[in-house]
Amino acid sequence: MQTPLTLAELNTKVKSTLEEQLEPSYWVIAEIGSMQVAQRGHAYLELVEKQDEQITAKLRANIWAYTYRVVSGWFQSVTGSPLQAGLKVLVHGVVTYHEVYGLSLNIKDIDPNFTLGERARQRMEVLQKLEADGVLEMNQELALPLVPQRIAVVSSATAAGYEDFMEQITHNGYGYRVHTQLFRAVMQGDQATESIIGALHEVHNAPRPFDAVVIIRGGGSQLDLDCFDTYELAATVAQFPLPVITGIGHERDETIVDMVAHTRMKTPTAVAEFLIQGLRAFEENVLLLEERLQQYTQRYVNEQSLSLSLLSQRIGAAS
């Protein structure tokens, strides 16, 4: 029988073995499962790996305050979003083992370009799946009514983009009245996809039908738009039975929801202007037709009057 070890002795052996066998540092691909920043500026993370949404590996990690300030600042400047749970990252760190706290990874650096590249790969997979399902252009094939006057608005009541949209619609320079109804939704974060889909279901089940649906929100960082790149939301929008107009408020980046929607505008204000200009174009066409009808009618009356006059002259000459 081996000589028994105390727990401290066993942990010391584990620590020394790891220090002897492991490389000085490693680049590791993982998802940030959770993350907290302490008052002193240290960041504490839980890194996870998933397969079919099931966690297959997990490891505690930390970033000391000075490193965190440098790394997180650089990450945000490149990606446009802060480090946060849910992101897939490529981190460079040192594996450490503490006799009390166990195994962890002390992160020294994070490659922001990997996160952007991973996002692009996921977007491509979603687009390919939508195309394989045959729904990529379904919403774009719907006809937008000539005079869309009942508009369902999917947005947050407190979003600046919603206020901009309503201001433009309500105080348009032509006196047009457009009926709008807000269907509240969370427009970013983990709950956004489910919330927006829920709002669209409410629109579909509304007692009175709408002419079109508008999905709007204010501007945000590139990674704040991730919910608009999910297959679930994009497929719902693509197959929605009403034309969907998006104004997600980001001028540079086109989301997958933008791609499958009937019409994509850059901002909520641009969506309102698009609707108003559509009404204006319809009114101008009606006025033009009215003018042409008046001209045609007047010409017809003149021609018939002349014919009657000539006929009257012939009758007089014959008698």
- CA–CA separation, 308 vs 296, rounded Å? 18
The tokens describing 69, both together, are 């300030």
Helix axis angle, 231-238 to 192-204, nearest 10°: 20
- Higher-confidence residue of 41 and 311: namely 41
Amino acid letter, 317: A
Q: Nearest-CA neighbor of 110 among 38, 27, 40? A: 27
Residue spans per domain, the chain: 7-121, 134-277
Alpha-carbon distance values, 194 to 58, 231, 232 (Å): 26, 12, 8
What 3 state SS string does 229-269 have? Answer: HCHHHHHHHHCCCCCEEEECCCCCCCCHHHHHCCEEECCHH
257-286 residue pLDDT tens: 999 999 999 999 999 999 999 999 887 777
Inform me whether the pLDDT recorded for 173 exceeds 80. Answer: yes
Partners of 54 in beta bridges = 51
- Helix (H) or strand (E) segment spanning residue 107: strand 102-110
What class is the 7-121 domain? mainly beta
Give the DSSP letter string of 45-75.
EEEEEEETTEEEEEEEEEE-HHHHHHHHHHH
Average pLDDT rounded to a whole number, residues 201-221: 90
- CA–CA separation, 293 vs 42, rounded Å? 76
Task: Tell me how crowded residue 177 is: count the other CB atoms within 10 A of its CB.
Answer: 9
- CA–CA separation, 290 vs 240, rounded Å? 36
As its CATH architecture, domain 134-277 has 3-Layer(aba) Sandwich (3.40)
152-161 residue pLDDT tens: 999 999 888 8
Q: In the structure, what pLDDT confidence band is assigned to residue 2 with cuts at 50, 70 and 90? A: confident
Identical topology for domains 7-121 and 134-277: no
- Helix (H) or strand (E) segment spanning residue 96: strand 88-98
